[in-house]
């Protein structure tokens, strides 16, 4: 099935002080391959997509931008925030909720951003939503609660989608699998699926 990336849609920060800045030094992404389509993008748009897809830190991007300005003819911003189009004023997007603060990015904004470079495969967009919270610090009452949206879509022909899996499982249950010279039978203890999959 076609499963899109998870995107934070809302975030609630309860009892938290604003002690982070826009140039947080989180770990950069270290995936071996990128799921990015750079076709048709300008150099700056491609650089922005690469930076966001690989979770580059602002410090790393600032160093790269300085290198590009000094060693190439590319016209690039001086600061990572300008490249990433980071909002300079988020006060209007943050509201008070009881004794905490709420940032609502919006479902529409998330969908439009996700499909900026791609087109939905179907006329309807199906989404799963989950909520989770975690403490911001080991000591103290501050917590961060997020609403996560995950796009998902069943294939048009579910039987074709399951055919290879069923055929291989039948083979493994009947003839087993060879591991280190020994043959082991494979048994299914349970199949865990949501309602649409169980229908098929």
Q: For residue range 112-162, what is the model confidence (pLDDT) as tens digits?
A: 888 877 777 777 788 888 888 888 888 888 888 888 888 876 555 556 667
Across 32-46, 94-108, 152-166, 175-189, least confident range: 152-166
**Average pLDDT for the chain:** 75
Query: What whole-number percentage of the chain has pLDDT above 90?
Result: 14
Sequence spans of domains, the chain: 1-16+88-153, 23-85, 158-199
Phi–psi pair at 65, nearest 5 degrees: -65, -40
pLDDT band at 65 (very low <50, low <70, confident <90, very high): very high
The CA-atom distances, in angstroms, between 38 and each of 47, 57, 199 are 9, 20, 38
The predicted structure's pLDDT at residue 138? 81
Q: How far apart are CA 171 and CA 189, in angstroms?
A: 16
Nearest to 36, CA basis, from 51, 57, 50: 50
Q: Is the pLDDT of residue 87 over 90?
A: no
The predicted structure's pLDDT at residue 199? 54
Most confident of 65-74, 87-96, 140-149, 156-165: 65-74
The predicted structure's pLDDT at residue 155? 58
The predicted structure's pLDDT at residue 99? 82
* 176 in Cβ contact with 184 (< 8 Å): yes
The predicted structure's pLDDT at residue 38? 76
Q: What is the pTM of this model?
A: 0.41
The predicted structure's pLDDT at residue 108? 83
Task: Give the list of residues 6+ apart from residue 5 with CB closer than 8 angstroms, or none.
Answer: 114, 151
Higher pLDDT, 190 or 4: 190
The predicted structure's pLDDT at residue 19? 43
Rounded mean pLDDT, 166-179:
88
The predicted structure's pLDDT at residue 78? 92
């Amino acid at each position: 099935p076609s499963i899109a990336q998870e995107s934070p849609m809302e975030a609630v920060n309860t009892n938290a002080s604003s002690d982070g800045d826009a140039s947080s030094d989180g770990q950069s992404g270290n995936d071996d391959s990128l799921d990015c389509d750079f076709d048709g993008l300008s150099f700056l748009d491609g650089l922005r997509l690469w930076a966001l897809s690989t979770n580059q830190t602002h410090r790393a991007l600032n160093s790269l931008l300085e290198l590009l300005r000094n060693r190439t003819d590319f016209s690039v911003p001086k600061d990572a925030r300008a490249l990433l189009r980071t909002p300079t004023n988020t006060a209007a997007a943050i509201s008070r909720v009881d004794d905490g603060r709420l940032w609502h990015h919006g479902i529409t904004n998330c969908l439009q951003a996700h499909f900026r470079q791609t087109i939905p495969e179907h006329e309807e967009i199906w989404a799963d939503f989950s909520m989770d919270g975690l403490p911001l610090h080991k000591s103290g009452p501050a917590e961060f609660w997020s609403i996560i949206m995950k796009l998902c879509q069943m294939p048009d022909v579910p039987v074709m989608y399951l055919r290879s899996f069923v055929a291989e499982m039948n083979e493994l249950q009947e003839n087993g699998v060879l591991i280190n010279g020994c043959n082991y039978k494979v048994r299914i203890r349970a199949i865990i699926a949501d309602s649409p999959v169980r229908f098929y």
